[in-house]
Amino acid sequence: MLSHPTSPFDNDVLLKAASDAVAAAVSTKFALDEVLGPELSRLISVSASVVKRHGILLEKAFVEALQASGRFDVLHNPTIPITPAADSLVTSNTAEELARLSLRYDQPASRSVNQDIVVIDIATGWAGAYSIKRGGGDMGPRLRRPLERDVAAVRLLLRSYLRDQGYSTIDTVTSACIDWFGAAGLPPHLTVQGPDVDVHFGVPVIATVEKMTAHLRDELHRTMPALLEPLYHRFETLSPVETRRGPEPTELAPEDDVRSGPEAKPSANAIFPVGPDEIRLTSPMRLRAAMSVGLRAGGRR
């Protein structure tokens, strides 16, 4: 049977991990952004680093809460092999059709998926594989589509995978992404939203995650005075910005309206960028064309 933690995390350990995440971000040397300058660049980089580390802490909080319930076995970061047959079925079947299918490992795996957590309820014969996302913003199709494929392929093979690991009584399986903040943009049939987590698992999880998140936020805020002080000093050395009013817009006289006249009609290529050399090279041609039009209009001279 695949090894997994035998006892739940102590809550103090989870909070210490949050404190360590902030300390690690503060001690990291980040690249300088020349536009932002060293003071503002560091403030933004440290804050962004803590936000990224929150994703890892979410996994730890889920593991702690689910194990603390005493109901589940929780596998953290197991690697699940994916067969070509699973990938083929995912690309050629609808979500409704895939829900009725299950595969065995009857051929070598072509790739593997590192799953954040696999939750197993031996008493009911149920298991679920989950990828945990902060969901602070839309992932975009480049990241979302491979993730959707992975979640669907894992669902097809999870039952067989767990039986190979010694969980012979597992008959019902599922897989999903846990979208904690709810903005990842994943399809509903592959998603458990953050507010629905407690109902989904049937045990309290949200309180543990929120306690960790609040502690992480407090630890980050404690670093702000030291990060802001150099920025304040920098502001004090700058001259105040003068507000200058630009010239008042003037209305064009009818005869000056650039939209009037035959030359204002756009050509078929007007939507493309035009460089200065193109204007210079084509100006004589335009001049000759204009002269030709004038001759035809005025008759022979």
What are the tens digits of pLDDT across the range 114-155? 999 999 999 999 999 999 999 988 989 999 999 999 999 999
Confidence tier at 230 by pLDDT (50, 70, 90): confident
pLDDT over 90 at 243, yes or no: no
Residues 6+ apart with CB under 8 A from 233: 39
Are the C-beta atoms of 80 and 154 separated by less than 8 Å?
Answer: yes
Instruction: Using the predicted structure, report yes or no on whether residue 293 has a pLDDT greater than 60.
Output: no
Instruction: Give the mean model confidence (pLDDT) for residues 268-281.
Output: 58
In the structure encoding, which two tokens stand for residue 227, read together?
Answer: 């990060």
Would you state the pLDDT for residue 294?
A: 57
**Closest Cα to residue 85, out of 112, 100, 106, 99?**
106
Backbone angles phi, psi at 258, to 5 degrees: -70, -10
Provide the pLDDT for residue 276: 59
Beta strands in 3-115 (DSSP E): 73-76, 79-82, 111-114
CA 300 to chain centre: 71
Buried-state track 186-198, b at ≥16 Cβ within 10 A, e below 16: beeebbbbbeebe
Residue 54, pLDDT score: 96
Element housing 179 (H / E): strand 172-179
Number of Cβ within a 10 Å radius of residue 29: 7
Q: What is the structure's pLDDT at 251?
A: 64
pTM for the predicted model, two decimal places: 0.74
Instruction: Report the relative pairing of strands 172-179 and 126-133 from DSSP bridges.
Output: parallel
Q: Does residue 59 register a pLDDT over 90? A: yes
Res. 8 pLDDT band, cuts 50 70 90: very low
Which pLDDT score, from 0 to 100, does residue 286 have?
A: 58
Q: For residue 91, how far is the Cα from the chain centroid?
A: 23
Q: What is the per-residue pLDDT across 89-123, written as a single tens digit (0 to 9) for each?
A: 999 999 899 988 899 998 899 999 999 999 999 99
DSSP state at residue 172: E
Whether residue 45 has pLDDT greater than 80: yes
Give percent of the chain above pLDDT 70.
Answer: 78
CA 23/CA 202 separation, integer angstroms:
34
In this predicted structure, what is the pLDDT of residue 56? 94
Amino acid letter, residue 166: G
How would you classify residue 247: left for phi > 0, otherwise alpha for psi between -120 and 50, otherwise beta?
beta
Separation between Cα atoms, residue 288 and residue 297, nearest integer Å: 14
Q: Model confidence over 203-229: pLDDT tens digits?
A: 999 999 999 999 999 999 999 999 999
| Confidence label for 284 from pLDDT (cuts 50, 70 and 90) | low
Q: How do the residues of the chain divide into helix, strand and coil, expressed in percent and rounded to 5?
A: 50, 10, 35
pLDDT at 62 > cutoff 60: yes
User: How would residue 6 be classed by pLDDT, with cut points 50, 70 and 90?
Assistant: very low
State how far the Cα of 219 lies from the Cα of 24, in Å rounded to an integer: 12
pLDDT of 2 strictly over 70: no
Question: Per-residue pLDDT for 186 more than 60?
Answer: yes
DSSP H helical ranges for 111-261:
141-164, 197-201, 206-236
